[in-house]
Structure 1
Amino acid sequence: MSGRRRAPRPAGRRRRVWAVAGVLALVVAVCAVAALALLRPGKARTTAVKAGTGPQSSPMTAPDGSERDIVPDACTALSQKVADQLTPGAEATEMSQGAQPDQHSECAWSLFGNTRRQLTVELRALTADGATSATGVATRTFGQEWESDRAGKELADTVKVRDSRGVSGVGEQAYVVYTVDDSGIGDAVANARLANVLVTVHFSGGDEKDGDAKPISSSDAANGALSAARDVISELQSQS
């Protein structure tokens, strides 16, 4: 993907996703720093969650049902068409993969100004743990992350969960959770599992008019995150 930037990868799934804002600030103008700072939560907090169904199983699985030892580059796993729909004109920023580049990849796209949008795509291939298969580890991890995300754990005091629901037709299991920050940023995280691979997408943003910030709506954020997750899952399946 032309014009791709590279930035270091912070540690930790939740901290890593939200810290993208701080990392990108190193490579954009000072005005971008202020815009992205709105996306970074502080200490953890548990919040109330709107009732929703659990993550759903789906007949949509990898063609051969096999586990994967490697994941593709997240910047190219997402189609340019979907990236342009969600963050038109934004450049892909590749996060360095650290110690396990074959098993982890992450990429971000950001828009600044009165219309702020940030999209992050993360792929993780989980490995077997003792008697537990790689798919078993991924299923367990997915469940833990579903519980954590819908409970609003590791979110700042200013961020609250507004909606959460299980989703069918995106990988073998999927969910989406929508949160709102007091600063006027709405964020949806979509998490999907395909065999032992977890695909985690954040789509967030807000619109400012006459000094008043309005978060991206729950439907727009969730639909955007799910469309990106669905697109990446489709790409993974095509490579099997």
Structure 2
Amino acid sequence: MSGRRRAARPARRRGRLVAAACAAAFVLVVSGAVAWVSLGGDHAHQPRSRDAGAESSPMSTGRGSDRDAVPSACDTLSKSVADKLAPGADRSATLANQSDEHSECAWSLYGSRTRQLSVELRALAATGGTSATDTAIRTFSTEWQADRGGKDLSDGVKVRDSRGVSGVGEQAYVVYTVDASAAIGEAVANARLANVLITVHYSGGDHLNAAGTPLSSHTASDGALGAARDIVSKLESHS
């Protein structure tokens, strides 16, 4: 599943001359694109409906600016959101993996009503001739394919739903899995804002009887996406 993928430490941004050249190229590309779209081009970029299910793909829109660092994951997610998804849970930062470019935080609640929420922020670096944002786009695409395909899942854990999502950052998706033996349902929401990836895992189940009931796709997916949306909003407001 996405998240907890150890990204290389980002390098510092390039100099102003390279940035200026990129900006000039961007203006030319945008000018051409605007003219082309005004003629009715690229219907393929219309967002697909939610009914497309596993066939839908995360669409890309450009809004954010590259970052050299990310804020604390524990502090970025609103307390009200964390309390709603995992009420009464213990919060802990994953200190071993903290850096300027990488931050993780988890909320855990165990017992007859299990809830686990984790948030990970990653600022990806430029690599070779690839910009930081393009590196993040490629990483996002790789993780989307891996998550929807069930790569690295434990035995008995199955993907039940996967879809691209609009309105959460520049690209986003959510994948829902079920571990039938443990009666645990989990959603992972992955969103991209420029070169930052925001990954939220939200899982749980109610074990009031021997069989147990996994967290539903609706509850898990909406919870994970809600947390991702909250974090994206915070990052956008401080960009």
User: Do the two structures share a fold, i.e. TM-score over 0.5?
Assistant: yes
Unaligned 5+ runs, structure 1: 1-11, 17-49
Aligned length: 191
Aligned to 2:35: none
CA deviations on 1:61-117 (whole Å, 9 max, x unpaired) are 33xxx200000000011000100010112131100154x600000000011111100
Unaligned 5+ runs, structure 2: 7-52
**Equivalence map 1:121-140=2 (5 Å):** 121-140=119-138
Aligned to 1:90: 89
**Pick from 144, 147, 163: which aligns with 1:146?**
144
Aligned to 2:165: 167
The structure having more radius of gyration, on CA atoms, is 2
Q: Let me know the Cα RMSD of the aligned residues.
A: 1.7
Aligned to 2:57: 54
CA deviations on 1:185-234 (whole Å, 9 max, x unpaired) are 00000000000000000000000122221100000000000000000000
Aligned to 1:114: 112
User: Are 1:185 and 1:204, in contact at CA under 8 Å, matched by a contact in 2?
Assistant: yes
Q: Percent sequence identity over matched residues?
A: 62
User: Are 2:3 and 2:120, in contact at CA under 8 Å, matched by a contact in 1?
Assistant: no
User: Are 1:53 and 1:166, in contact at CA under 8 Å, matched by a contact in 2?
Assistant: yes
Cα distance in 1, alignment partners of residues 161 and 183 from structure 2: 16
Cα distance in 2, alignment partners of residues 155 and 220 from structure 1: 21
User: Are 2:184 and 2:213, in contact at CA under 8 Å, matched by a contact in 1?
Assistant: yes
Structure 2 residue matching 1:136: 3-state secondary structure: helix
Structure 2 residue matching 1:220: 3-state secondary structure: helix
- TM-score of the aligned structures, taking structure 2 as reference length: 0.76
Change (3 A) 1:87 1:197: same
Cα distance in 1, alignment partners of residues 197 and 3 from structure 2: 11
Change (3 A) 1:215 1:109: same
Aligned to 2:229: 230
Structure 2 residue matching 1:209: 3-state secondary structure: coil
Cα distance in 2, alignment partners of residues 112 and 162 from structure 1: 24
Cα distance in 2, alignment partners of residues 56 and 136 from structure 1: 14
User: Are 1:58 and 1:169, in contact at CA under 8 Å, matched by a contact in 2?
Assistant: no
Cα distance in 1, alignment partners of residues 122 and 110 from structure 2: 28
Shift of 1:52: 3.0
Change (3 A) 1:13 1:223: closer
- TM-score of the aligned structures, taking structure 1 as reference length: 0.76
Aligned to 2:212: 213
User: Are 1:55 and 1:173, in contact at CA under 8 Å, matched by a contact in 2?
Assistant: yes
Structure 1 residue matching 2:54: 3-state secondary structure: coil
| Structure with more helix by fraction | 2
The reply on whether 1:191 has 2:190 as its aligned counterpart is yes
Cα distance in 2, alignment partners of residues 110 and 122 from structure 1: 15
In structure 1, what residue type is equivalent to 2:138?
R
Cα distance in 1, alignment partners of residues 61 and 133 from structure 2: 15
Cα distance in 2, alignment partners of residues 15 and 110 from structure 1: 21
Moved segments of 4+, more than 6 Å: none
